[in-house]
């Protein structure tokens, strides 16, 4: 079969990026399923608001994946060989901008909450929150306008300022969150004279930079490709995966507590334990005492106490246990 040739248009640069975007998005969705399963198994005692965030995010990602599957089928199934599919955006793409904006906003809201919890300063979280709300609002506006005025590719070019504001706002919000977390932890580091505490804070700073860099780079690359090569579909690769990058980074942040907690209970050095407690002091419900019989017929009582200091203190975890023997 001869290759489809349209004068002035490179078909491969229109269809190829979409194929890659669909494949990468399906792969990230599979990773997300595994992460949500790990979370549900390891953190059943998390507060209801965090579990609601996780499951709402997973539901929206599932809806996003459903619509992208429909779009892929319509373009490469019944639409195979139809050149109109290169210039008309499929109806299944309609909800995707808003879903991407909401998923990014949910992940960003979580980190904004952590910044407030750690710093107890309201001005910085409010400023970052306004940037987050801007990108979410513009993503809804873009999706609604395209759905009403028509789904032609020319409509995307007509909305270039709005799309640029949306993508740039998301990238700016990610970078502000990363810089704010680094600033909060750097303040804590200056107030301690203990080498071990400084090491823990260094790990937190490195972790904040690593997780924030993934979404920040993804958002920056997407807006850069939109501004420099919008006539092709290369930017759609990141459009299809950016929401799943936010979701997977959020789940990775939540699940990172598991190996650290195992290190605490296994009697390890606990070098990461302080990092967990300083970042997650209010994430789980307060633990309850465990009472059981020991091998000699006595009663073993274990207790875990979370002690929180002031807003500038590193939260520490103290564990104690004792065995009451039956002398009767």
Neighbours of 277 (CB within 10 A): 22
Which has the closest alpha carbon to 256: 185, 207, 306, 308? 207
Question: Are 32 and 158 within one domain?
Answer: yes
- Distance, CA of 61 to CA of 244 (rounded, Å): 7
Residue 158 is predicted with a pLDDT of 73
Question: pLDDT tens digits, residue range 190-213?
Answer: 666 666 666 666 676 777 777 778
Residue 188: domain span: 11-261
Average pLDDT across the chain, whole number: 76
CB 149 within 8 A of CB 275: no
**Domain termination residue (choose one: 245, 261, 277):** 261
Residues near 63 by beta carbon (within 8 Å), at least 6 away in sequence: 95, 99
Residue 146 is predicted with a pLDDT of 78
Question: Are 172 and 302 within one domain?
Answer: no
Report the Cα–Cα distance between both ends of the chain, in Å, rounded.
Answer: 91
Question: Does the pLDDT at position 168 exceed 50?
Answer: yes
The token duo for 85 is 């599919």
**Domain termination residue (choose one: 261, 296, 315):** 261
* Model confidence, pTM: 0.75
Find the helix or strand (DSSP H, E) in which 1 lies. Answer: none
Which segments of 130-240 are extended strands (E)? none
Residue 90: band (very low, low, confident or very high) from pLDDT cuts 50, 70, 90: confident
Question: Are 96 and 50 within one domain?
Answer: yes
Question: pLDDT tens digits, residue range 128-161?
Answer: 999 999 999 999 988 888 777 766 666 777 777 8
Question: Are 233 and 108 within one domain?
Answer: yes
CA distances from 154 to 121, 144, 151, 231 (A): 45, 15, 8, 10
The token duo for 174 is 């990610």
Radius of gyration, alpha carbons of the chain: 24
Question: Are 210 and 315 within one domain?
Answer: no
Mean pLDDT of 41-48: 89
Question: Are 290 and 247 within one domain?
Answer: no
Question: Are 33 and 84 within one domain?
Answer: yes
- Distance, CA of 130 to CA of 281 (rounded, Å): 26
Phi then psi dihedrals of residue 291, to 5 deg? -115, 130
Question: Are 39 and 153 within one domain?
Answer: yes
CA distances from 194 to 231, 270, 280 (A): 56, 15, 21
- Distance, CA of 321 to CA of 319 (rounded, Å): 7
The count of domains in the chain is 2
Question: Are 90 and 159 within one domain?
Answer: yes
Question: Are 223 and 314 within one domain?
Answer: no
CB 137 within 8 A of CB 98: no
CB 94 within 8 A of CB 146: yes
Mean pLDDT of 77-100: 80
Residue 102 in any domain: the answer is yes
Which has the closest alpha carbon to 151: 97, 219, 224? 97
- Distance, CA of 299 to CA of 301 (rounded, Å): 6
Residues near 80 by beta carbon (within 8 Å), at least 6 away in sequence: none
- Distance, CA of 113 to CA of 117 (rounded, Å): 6
Indicate which CATH number applies to the domain containing 77.
Answer: 1.20.1070
Residue 27: band (very low, low, confident or very high) from pLDDT cuts 50, 70, 90: very high
CB 214 within 8 A of CB 241: no
The token duo for 118 is 């750690």
The token duo for 323 is 């065995």
Residue 215 is predicted with a pLDDT of 86
Which of residues 149 and 316 earns the better pLDDT score? 149
Residue 273 in any domain: the answer is no
Question: Are 298 and 201 within one domain?
Answer: no
- Distance, CA of 216 to CA of 220 (rounded, Å): 6
Residue 227 is predicted with a pLDDT of 86
Residue 270 in any domain: the answer is no
The token duo for 130 is 């306004």
């Amino acid at each position: 079969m001869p290759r489809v040739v349209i004068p002035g248009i490179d078909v491969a640069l229109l269809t190829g990026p979409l194929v890659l975007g669909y494949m990468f998005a399906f792969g990230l969705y599979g990773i997300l399923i595994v992460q949500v399963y790990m979370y549900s198994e390891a953190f059943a005692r998390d507060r209801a608001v965090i579990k609601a965030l996780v499951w709402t995010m997973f539901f929206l990602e599932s809806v996003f994946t459903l619509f992208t599957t429909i779009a892929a089928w319509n373009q490469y199934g019944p639409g195979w060989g139809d050149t109109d599919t290169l210039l008309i955006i499929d109806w299944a793409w309609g909800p995707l901008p808003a879903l991407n904006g909401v998923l990014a906003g949910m992940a960003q809201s979580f980190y904004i909450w952590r910044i407030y919890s750690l710093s107890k300063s309201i001005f910085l979280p409010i400023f970052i929150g306004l940037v987050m709300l801007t990108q979410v609002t513009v993503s809804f506006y873009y999706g609604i306008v395209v759905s009403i005025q028509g789904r032609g590719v020319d409509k995307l070019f007509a909305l270039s300022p709005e799309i640029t504001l949306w993508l740039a706002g998301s990238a700016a919000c990610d970078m502000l969150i990363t810089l704010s977390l680094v600033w909060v932890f750097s303040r804590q580091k200056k107030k301690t004279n203990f080498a071990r505490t400084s090491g823990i804070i260094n790990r937190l700073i490195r972790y904040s930079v690593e997780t924030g860099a993934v979404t920040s780079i993804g958002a920056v690359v997407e807006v850069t490709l939109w501004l420099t090569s919008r006539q092709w579909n290369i930017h759609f690769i990141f459009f299809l995966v950016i929401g799943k990058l936010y979701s997977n980074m959020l789940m990775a942040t939540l699940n990172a507590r598991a190996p650290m907690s195992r290190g605490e209970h296994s009697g390890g050095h606990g070098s990461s334990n302080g990092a967990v407690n300083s970042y997650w002091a209010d994430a789980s419900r307060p633990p309850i005492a465990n009472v059981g019989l020991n091998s000699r017929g006595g009663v073993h009582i274990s207790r875990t106490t979370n002690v929180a200091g002031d807003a500038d203190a590193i939260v520490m975890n103290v564990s104690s246990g004792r065995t009451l023997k039956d002398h009767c």
